[in-house]
């Protein structure tokens, strides 16, 4: 099932995800059929909005891939909208402390545990046909992913991980390294110390650690550190790299042919 990420993580399995930044349902379907376990529809930095998010959720559904949405912040209305559209999980950016995390977790849960509004005429609840099943079976499996993107967040990682409902502590390497004054220097010992602290905090409280891999070859390193909620690749970046690689290859071949064909 698409919405089994939480149980798979609890069993210690690795779940592989990618980012959807173009807002296009056909790109989302291509990515879903490539074998990802989950795909993140990016409303923070991506090109699409909620309408595009819905189309992308529908596109990945047939491939058995989980749809996770990154919202712009922890305001409960932002999470509620994508949950009602059928998201299997929500990623919250810029979680710097325990109170930020509490607000995000509350947005994911119905009262009395949280503040999510009850509605049934939506896609998640099969437009009124599956409200009780959704509340009792699907909602408890929703994944709450809290982004650790600053030294302050690293300092509070243990407190964040201790919260009931904090399922994944997810390192955003670019933001974290930038906030540390070492943008992109992922081999720097200060950065490596930070990612170890996050993983250790998650493990100590029975939670999962996640990261967007700086490069695919880094998988072994971060897996050995305890990271299991792994992201690699995005639709825009993959398309850009593939197109540039192809044009460079053909252009080089054309230049070689033209050179030898000159009289």
pLDDT > 70: percent of the chain: 98
CA dist., res. 174 & res. 36, Å (int): 22
User: Hey, what domains does the chain have and what are their CATH numbers?
Assistant: 5-261 (3.20.20.60)
Which element (helix H / strand E) includes 18? strand 15-20
pLDDT confidence tier of residue 262, bands split at 50, 70 and 90: confident
User: Does the pLDDT of residue 175 top 80, yes or no?
Assistant: yes
pLDDT confidence tier of residue 73, bands split at 50, 70 and 90: confident
- Please confirm, yes or no, whether 156 is among the known catalytic residues: no
Q: What's the chain's average pLDDT? A: 95
**pLDDT tens, residue by residue, 156-173:** 999 999 999 999 999 999
pLDDT of amino acid 173 = 97
Longest dimension (CA), the chain: 83
pLDDT of amino acid 1 = 47
Average pLDDT over residues 12-41: 97
Q: 3-class DSSP state for residue 103?
A: helix
pLDDT confidence tier of residue 2, bands split at 50, 70 and 90: low
User: Does the pLDDT of residue 80 top 50, yes or no?
Assistant: yes
Average pLDDT over residues 142-150: 97
94-116: b (≥16 Cβ within 10 Å) or e:
bbbebebbbbbbbbbbeeeebbb
**pLDDT tens, residue by residue, 94-131:** 999 999 999 999 999 999 999 999 999 999 999 999 99
pLDDT confidence tier of residue 76, bands split at 50, 70 and 90: confident
Alpha helices in the chain (DSSP H): 5-10, 25-32, 50-61, 76-85, 98-108, 131-133, 151-155, 157-161, 173-179, 189-204, 219-224, 235-261
User: Does the pLDDT of residue 74 top 80, yes or no?
Assistant: no
Q: Which of 45, 80, 205, 221 is catalytic?
A: 45
Q: 3-class DSSP state for residue 181?
A: coil
């Amino acid at each position: 099932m698409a919405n089994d990420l939480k149980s798979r993580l609890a069993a210690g399995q690795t779940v592989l995800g990618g980012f959807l930044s173009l807002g296009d349902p056909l790109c989302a379907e291509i990515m879903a059929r490539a074998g990802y376990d989950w795909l993140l529809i990016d409303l923070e930095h991506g090109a699409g909005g909620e309408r595009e998010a819905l189309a992308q959720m529908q596109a990945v559904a047939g491939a058995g891939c989980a749809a996770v949405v990154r919202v712009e912040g922890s305001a409960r209305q932002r999470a509620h909208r994508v949950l009602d559209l059928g998201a299997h999980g929500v990623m919250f950016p810029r979680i710097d402390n325990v109170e930020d995390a509490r607000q995000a977790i509350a947005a994911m849960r119905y009262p009395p545990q949280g503040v999510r509004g009850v509605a049934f005429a939506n896609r998640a609840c099969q437009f009124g046909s599956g409200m009780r099943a959704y509340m009792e079976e699907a909602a408890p499996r929703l994944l709450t992913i809290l982004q650790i993107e600053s030294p302050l967040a690293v300092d509070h990682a243990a407190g964040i991980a201790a919260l009931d409902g904090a399922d994944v502590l997810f390192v955003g390497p670019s933001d974290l390294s930038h906030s540390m004054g070492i943008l992109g220097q992922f081999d720097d010992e200060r950065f490596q110390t930070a990612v170890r602290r996050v993983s250790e905090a998650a493990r100590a409280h029975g939670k999962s650690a996640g990261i967007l891999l700086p490069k695919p070859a880094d998988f072994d390193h971060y897996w050995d550190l305890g990271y299991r909620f792994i992201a690699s690749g995005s639709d825009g970046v993959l398309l850009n790299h593939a197109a540039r690689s192809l044009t460079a290859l053909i252009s080089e071949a054309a230049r070689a042919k033209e050179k030898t064909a000159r009289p």
